[in-house]
Amino acid sequence: MRGMIYVDPERCMGCHTCEMACAVAHSESKDLFKAIYEEPRSKPRVVVEAVGRTSVPLQCRHCEDAPCVAVCPTHAMTKLEGGPVIVRRELCIGCKACILVCPFGAVTMDHDGKVAHKCDLCIERLEAGEEPACASSCPTGALRFVPAEEVAREARRRAAERFLVSLERREQAAA
């Protein structure tokens, strides 16, 4: 996969802009003012959850070994080669097994409760060379579409910072 959604909860202010952008990107019209009047109204595939004073945007992580794909009896949940996990609506029987096994709670049901509904990483936008709507709309950069290598590099940097802080504290305590 060309990239992944990186979530930085420390930067999320809980504005729900990502939810709105996602719903609009998956609407028929792709226009905010028209999408409001569409029936059924487009549902976002990212949800901002408040945990205490922190907000966390949650969506499908497009796991390499996706439990939703493994459990789907009709193969409606499919991992595209080098890409996102998608739902093939025409194959979904609405058994909800995918909801039960998703460790992120990222799978829901569509409006009529018959077909699984989840983030598809804005596959149409990716194919057009654009970023997923949630990442491109986030005003604080709490959601970013980045290569996996960049996520690993950032994690190493934060680990090194924590290590240095712990060394400094140890030296101060010894002094």
- Fold held by 62-117: Alpha-Beta Plaits (3.30.70)
Read off the pTM.
Answer: 0.85
Closest CA to 69 of 84, 47, 82: 84
pLDDT tens-digit map of 67-116:
999 999 999 999 998 889 999 999 999 999 999 999 999 999 999 999 99
pLDDT of residue 18: 98
pLDDT of residue 1: 55
Kindly report the CATH class assigned to 1-59+119-147: alpha beta
Listing DSSP states for 91-153 in one string gives G-----HHHHH-TT---EE-TTSSSEE---TTHHHHHTTPPPHHHHH-SSSSEEEE-HHHHHH
pLDDT of residue 155: 85
CATH 3.30.70.20 domain extents, the chain: 1-59+119-147, 62-117
